[in-house]
Structure 1
Amino acid sequence: MAPDWLARYQDGERSGVWHELRQFGAAVRLPDYREQAQLVCDEMARRALHNVEVIVDRLARHGFRAHENDDERTPTPAHLPPTERAETHAAWLDEQFGPVPLTVLSWVRIVGDVWLVGTHPQWSTSANADPLVVQLEGSAHPEWGPIGDYLRVGRERWREGPPEGEIETPDDRSGGGLTVLPLSPDGYHKANVSGGLPYGVVVPDSCADGVFAGVTTMPFVSYLNWVFRHGGFPGHTGAPEQEAVRRDLAKGLLPL
């Protein structure tokens, strides 16, 4: 009998459902389980989309200006919904880098690209708080050319390790034939400071949820929950105004 993961997830048994999905491992892709697993991941992504839209709206009301992590602070959208190519792009990612975890594919198809790097008028160091960035479709950057080329470069950087003089974390090198599908710059590069390797998810991985590789490693959904609990800005900057801004941004966001 097919599991009732979606109904349980919607009833609030989120932790239990994610635990079971992780216990099933690659078996979630078997015909008896794939549909329910995908439905849960899609529901997660819809909840994440709600959170992103709420945060972006609140930031706009605060007077926040999203911009690139460069000296010119080139304006850029904080959120771009999936394009009409998103479904095809998700399938391409799964073929080229995968298997890619179902949660990541759901994000590509439902959430889109998110870039919360910018300038906040009440919190001047917000870019130092490791703001949420997930860019897998690259729709904000046509100058990159095909996004696949950009992602392949990031993957190769993980395979080679960080250039000399850059910051290296304990998780910088992955072994056993694994590598990382890049999602975003690391926390240093987001703040326009020379840093380390991109954040990403470990691939190949046939499971429902993947392993997020950043400053440390954790399940991708756990990372997103941590970020949303802090209003999209999980890092600590030491600024006295930080907590008030983050509380306002995080108010009422949905757990995943």
Structure 2
Amino acid sequence: MTAPGLLDRYHAGDRERVWHELRQLGRSVRDDPALAAEAQEVCDEMARRARHNVELLVARLTAAGYRFHHNDDEQTPATPYAPPTPDATAYANWLESTFGEIPMTLRSWIRYVGDVWLVGTHPEWPDSSSGDPLVIELEGSLNPRYGSMRETHERCRAHHRPEWGPFVLAVAPDALHKANTSGGDPYGFLLPDGCADGSFRVDAAMPFVSYLNVVFTYGGFPEITGDDAEWSIRHELSMDLLPL
């Protein structure tokens, strides 16, 4: 009897060990076409589960009267979620041709999840924007007023210098900027990166899937604010979200 493959083990709940093994392989996961294909399937399944979580969070927040808004003084209303556009795969290919190899998890997110913007205000948790709500913007379909994400990434790349370290593909404001205060560097992926799971820079670099699991564990708001209402709200938001 052959040993279960990576995807079968992932479906069976052996997710942490599967991610550990894929991370240990590093970029060499791409050397064997069969292994690379199976690793991409694991990443795709991760993204499908993440999309389920995102859609559930948006529905729950909407039902609770949450106001999705931009991180500006006017609190301009914002759309919380946009699924991938028909150009999503082409956009992922453009990223790889422009910045070098991109992680498989990043490619999967682009193709299966889309853009997410959970910044806003909960009626029973006034400081909810300080909870570091989940934001991942790649195609830029939620904030067209800021221009094309391709143009933004190209401008950042043009000004990047090798001595500054790896290029960071910015996909979200940091926790302070989400709360409309002065903050630090944006969150993003370190590129190029040919691994299955990419390095995602928050305050420090960590695996992207690890970051997402923390976010979903806390109902989309991983930063503890100290507000009395937040724990019951987080608990309700996080119920039955799928681990990745």
Distance apart, 1:33 and its partner CA:
1.4
1:229 and 2:217 are equivalent in the alignment: yes
In structure 2, distance between residues paired with 1:225 and 1:246: 14
Distance apart, 1:247 and its partner CA:
0.4
1:255: which partner in 2? 243
Q: AA paired with 1:203?
A: L
1:48 and 2:50 are equivalent in the alignment: yes
1:19: which partner in 2? 20
> Is the deviation greater in 83-92 or in 145-154?
145-154
Distance apart, 1:145 and its partner CA:
2.7
Distance apart, 1:143 and its partner CA:
2.5
In structure 2, distance between residues paired with 1:142 and 1:34: 34
- Taking the TM superposition and a 5 Å limit, the aligned residue runs for 1:1-256 are 4-30=5-31, 31-155=33-157, 175=165, 178-256=166-244
Give the percent of matched residue pairs that are identical in Structure 1 and Structure 2: 53
Distance apart, 1:146 and its partner CA:
2.4
Structure 1 SS opposite 2:189: strand
- Asked whether the 8 Å contact 1:28–1:34 carries over to 2, the reply is yes
> Is the deviation greater in 97-106 or in 55-64?
97-106
TM-score (norm 2): 0.94
Distance apart, 1:156 and its partner CA:
6.3
In structure 2, distance between residues paired with 1:8 and 1:121: 41
Structure 1 SS opposite 2:184: coil
1:165: which partner in 2? none
- Asked whether the 8 Å contact 1:2–1:32 carries over to 2, the reply is no
Q: Deviations over 1:28-47 (max 9, x none)?
A: 22213111010000000000
In structure 1, distance between residues paired with 2:69 and 2:97: 32
Gaps of 5+ in 2: none
Q: AA paired with 1:45?
A: A
Distance apart, 1:190 and its partner CA:
0.4
In structure 2, distance between residues paired with 1:249 and 1:157: 40
Q: Deviations over 1:100-133 (max 9, x none)?
A: 1110110011000000000110100000011100
Distance apart, 1:55 and its partner CA:
0.5
- Asked whether the 8 Å contact 2:171–2:186 carries over to 1, the reply is yes
TM-score (norm 1): 0.90
Q: Deviations over 1:32-88 (max 9, x none)?
A: 311101000000000000000111000011000111100111111111111111111
- Asked whether the 8 Å contact 1:56–1:78 carries over to 2, the reply is yes
Across the aligned residues of Structure 1 and Structure 2, the Cα RMSD in angstroms comes to 1.9
Q: Deviations over 1:187-238 (max 9, x none)?
A: 1110011111110011110000011111122110000000000000000111
- Asked whether the 8 Å contact 2:199–2:206 carries over to 1, the reply is yes
